[in-house]
Chains A and B, each alone.
Chain A
Amino acid sequence: MDAVIVDSITKTYGKEKTHAVNGVSFSVKKGELFGLIGPDGAGKTSIFRVLTTLLLPDSGRASVDGFDIVKDFRKIRDRVGYMPGKFSLYQDLTVEENLSFFATVFGTTIKENYNLIKDIYIQIEPFKDRRAGKLSGGMKQKLALCCALIHKPSVLFLDEPTTGVDPVSRKEFWEMLRRLREQEITIIVSTPYMDEATRCDRIALIQNGNFLSADTPESIIHSYPDMLYAVKAENIYTLIQSLKNFENALSCHAFGEYVHLSVKPALLKGTTTPAEDHKNTEDIKNYLSMAGFKDIVVKKTEPTIEDCFIKLLS
């Protein structure tokens, strides 16, 4: 049986009945690291709040660890860990007091499940007598993760755990999640950062309360239908403007120092020959030098999740 099963959940807010979650269905296997990827306001937090029994859905059914979110909400509260997007621990209690409070709430002790949080806790242990409110952003997140883990939950919900955290801590955080997977804990994590998507076993791309696609990151990338080229020249802004007028261009957007240009494939979806690649590269180069660009670099590139997301949105 899957750890989390969601069946066409709908949730609307306000008088205008704006759909925060619009008939979403998915399931997460036991021990899987599942990512909800989407921009702000996509409905990620609403899904979390429904699954953690904080919010009743307007329609649809869902179960967590085999328990219905409406009927057996109390049983779910015993066995899930939830880390809200906003830091929600007691700022005026110390690191250790927070941790032992949440341990006792679930009828356990820090000692009992120490091995579970050891890797993470060891990093904040030097500050265990410090008030939680006085910790830095990354350390707050680590503490929050410890508190959500201390009762050895079967399902862990992490709502944007890396938002506002520096790149090094973000990387560490994801490594911690990978290690937790080995403990057979099902993890559902949400993030607005596309680059974090590949770290999940499976992801769901979500926009305006709808699932655009849900699959492993690899197959989502693999199903990208177009050919993608990274283009660079001295003036990015005018480059984007003129690439939009390129004859076979489907879309183009800035991507780091490059501009990603997607081109309609001449043959079947996803299959290109080196010769075709070469021809396309030359075509783009010629087109740009005709337009008066200097220092032109054009190369074939592999799509990322971000490219897929933009493709799905268009």
Chain B
Amino acid sequence: MRTIKFLLQKEFRQILRNKTIRGMIFIMPVIQLIIIPLAADYEVKNINISVADHDHSSYTQKLISRITASGYFRLTGYTASFKEAFQQIEQDEADLILEIPAGFEKDLIRGNEQKLFIAINAINGVKASLGGAYLSTIIRNYNDEIRVALIQPSRYNNVPTIEIASANWFNPEMNYHVFMVPGILAILVTMVGGFLSALNIVKEKESGTIEQINVTPIRKHHFIIGKLIPFWILGNLIFTIGLVIAWLIYGIIPQGNLAVLYTCTSVYLLAILGFGLLISTFCDTQQQAMLIMFFFMMIFILMGGLYTTIDSMPAWAKVVSQFNPASYLIEAARMVILKGSRLRDVLPHIIKLSMFAIALNGWAIYNYKKTS
């Protein structure tokens, strides 16, 4: 116990003396929480649309003003032929072409039917699919409107229709910030727990100080515990700073119990610290550790359900993400912060994270003993 006490004293001295780490502890959560949720927005805006109008009627005018008034589209071209409009796509000035056939208004009123053509530039997949969907919705609404105007209202609808009204629970305005912030908190904790711990231990190897320590009565488990505790505390500290920032900037207040939230984070930190320790047993230089950590960090972030939901991944990717500890914290943090889940609800997550913690630390300690 006494050994651990002065090992901790030494670690904290070294960590806090390091200007970069000291700065990053405060700057990293602030910057990441301010920038990423605002930038990583799934809503697509400013879709450039070019209209090839062969009709030039008042109906087409109405349709076009509908499209531009939606706020999602920007009319970059209004041409008389599809060819001209396509040139705009080729020059990357337009993402979508809406072709309105000649006699659009006339046929619509007389024959009750008319066809529109949408051509989409699919180079940017997200923009294309969302743009197409938005445009279709606008046209459908427009269609409903003309129908109401043209058909004499009867007492009952002659065609049965289902009207859908939806409400967004736990995030009423479908605000992406609300959804991103808990995930980013999880990533922050991962960075501190994984990166810093691995690099710190490898640094002792690289500078030879571990040799000097090995010739002293300090036992290996003392050394490891002395390394893990500081980063466990730092991880929780960064998480707290992140929560405060989330409240100050986005007004996000955890709906659930803070104790439950911190339980999840603490157990997760144990797992990710074990991971960092494991990496450090394989590496001799900080460069190697950095590279390996970065590789796993990409997988943790991109396959952890932060940006894309795990549910929509192919079956094999779902299996991979089950072995991704970050995915459990991202999900649990969202559940507790947004939905107000209780301990009972996140218990499966905590159990799985505990299993990660035991397995990773066990493997790391086994490896550490074997190598030296």
Known contacts A77-B217, A97-B13; is A88 also within 8 Å of B6 by CB?
Answer: no
Q: Is A102 an interface residue (CB 8 A)?
A: yes
* Proximity string of chain B (211-231) to chain A, C-beta cutoff 8 Å, 1 when within and 0 when not: 111111110000000000000
* A contact face: mostly helix, strand, loop, or mixed: loop
Chain A nearest CB, measured from B220 CB (Å):
11
How many B residues touch A, CB cutoff 8 Å?
18
CB of A135 within 8 A of chain B?
Answer: no
Residue of B nearest to A87 (CB): B208
Closest B residue to A91 by CB, please name it.
Answer: B207
Type the 1/0 row for B9-48, where 1 means its CB is closer than 8 Å to any CB of A. 0100110011000000000000000000000000000000
A185 to chain B, nearest CB (A): 16
Q: Do A78 and B207 touch across chains, with their CB atoms under 8 A apart?
A: no
Q: How far is the CB of B116 from chain A (nearest CB, A)?
A: 69
B-contact bits for A75-113, CB 8 A (1 contact / 0 none): 001101010101111111100010001101111000000
B3 at the A interface (CB under 8 A): yes
Determine which of A78, A82, A86, A88 lies in contact with B217 in the assembled complex, contact meaning CB atoms within 8 Å: A78
Of all chain A residues, the one with the shortest Cβ separation from B215 is A82
Asked if B209 is at the interface of the complex by the 8 Å CB criterion, the answer is: yes
| Chain B hits for A105, CB < 8 A | 3, 6, 213, 216-218
Q: Which residues of B contact A97 (CB under 8 A)?
A: 10, 13
Closest beta carbon of chain A to B8's beta carbon, Å: 12
Shortest C-beta distance, A132 to chain B (Å), equals: 10
Give the shortest distance, in Å, between A120 (CB) and chain B (any CB): 17
Tell me, yes or no, whether A53 is within 8 Å of chain B by CB.
Answer: yes
Give the Cβ gap from B12 to chain A, nearest Cβ, in Å: 12
Do the beta carbons of A106 and B216 come within 8 Å of each other?
yes
- Would A84 and B216 count as touching, CB distance under 8 A? no
Task: Judge if A266 is at the interface, Cβ distance under 8 Å.
Answer: no
Q: Smallest CB-CB separation from B212: which chain A residue?
A: A88
Determine the chain A residues whose CB is within 8 A of the CB of B217 once the complex forms: 74, 77-78, 105-107
- Chain B contact residues, majority secondary structure: helix
Q: Is B3 a contact of A88 with CB atoms below 8 Å?
A: no
Complex contact B218–A92 (CB within 8 A): no
When the two chains form their complex, are residues B215 and A53 in contact, meaning their CB atoms are under 8 A apart?
yes
**Binary per-residue interface labels of chain A (18-38) against chain B in the complex, 1 for a CB within 8 Å, 0 otherwise:** 000000000000000000000
How far, in whole Å, are A89 and B213 apart by their CA atoms in the complex?
Answer: 9
Residues of B contacting A80 in the complex (Cβ-Cβ under 8 angstroms): 215
Q: Is A104 touching B17 in the complex (CB atoms < 8 A)? A: no
B209, B214, B215: most-surrounded residue (chain A CB, <10 A): B215
* Nearest CB of chain B from residue A157's CB, rounded to whole Å: 8
Bound Cα distance from A91 to B215, whole angstroms: 18
A106: B residues at CB distance < 8 A: 216-217
Q: List CB contacts (< 8 Å) of B197-248 with chain A.
A: 207-209, 211-218
Per-residue interface assignment for chain A, residues 52 to 66, with 1 indicating a CB less than 8 Å from any chain B CB and 0 otherwise: 111000000000000
Cα–Cα distance between A184 and B211 once the two chains are bound (Å) = 26
A52, A54, A90, A107: the one contacting B14 at CB < 8 Å is A90
**What distance in Å separates the Cβ of A18 from its nearest Cβ neighbour in chain B?**
20
| A93 and B215 within 8 A (CB) | no
**Contact residues of A with B, CB < 8 Å?**
52-54, 74, 77-78, 80, 82, 84, 86-93, 97, 101-102, 104-107, 147
Q: List 26 A-B contacts (CB under 8 A).
A: A52-B215, A54-B211, A54-B215, A77-B214, A77-B216, A82-B215, A84-B212, A86-B208, A87-B208, A88-B208, A88-B209, A88-B211, A88-B212, A89-B209, A89-B212, A90-B14, A91-B207, A93-B14, A97-B10, A101-B6, A102-B216, A104-B6, A105-B217, A105-B218, A107-B217, A147-B212
Minimum-distance CB pairs A-B, first 9: A88-B208, A88-B212, A82-B215, A105-B216, A104-B6, A86-B208, A52-B215, A78-B217, A88-B209
